[in-house]
Amino acid sequence: MPAPDEDAVARLAAVTGWVRAVVLLVLLAYLTSSLVLPWKIASVAFGWAGVLCGVVASVKVLRRKLPGVLRVTVPLATLACLLFTVSTSTQVLFYQPTSDYEQCMATTVTDRSQAQCKHDYEQKLSTLQGVIGT
């Protein structure tokens, strides 16, 4: 087996920290997006940090001409972070209806009551009731 090219190892070492940060932030954004409000707000912070780190890491990976796997996965991880951020930000924007829905779903037992929770949530969203600033 041939020895690894020292130049390739140096190029890879220059972006390893950024790639690890992106992976960690994507994981944190994903895990915290499934929490209930107000803890779900942490997902927005992790998501934006992941997007910023992902952009930096993507630029570094593309400029250093690293292996194809990194050229694909780092931008995809950045995109995933952006999706978590946008979806969770929307839920935070509709804080009160989302909080009421989560509380309602936590206390329901039957399918009928779950359907009622969902209907009430959709009604509040359609009338923009409980939006931040209104």
- Give residue 35's domain range: 16-91
Same domain, 123 and 59: no
Residue 68 located in a structural domain: yes
Q: Residue 8 falls within a domain, yes or no?
A: no
Considering the domain boundaries, does residue 52 fall inside one?
A: yes
> Residues 47-71: pLDDT tens digits?
999 999 999 999 988 888 777 888 8
Residues 62 and 73 in one domain: yes
Q: What is the pLDDT of residues 69-94, one digit of tens each?
A: 888 888 999 999 999 899 999 888 88
Global confidence as pTM: 0.78
Q: Which DSSP string do the residues of 70-133 spell out, in sequence order?
A: HHHHHHHHHHHHHHHHHHHHHHHHTHHHHHHHHHHHHH--SHHHHHHHHHHHHHHHHTTTT-TT
107 occurs within a structural domain: yes
Residues 28, 68, single domain; the answer is yes
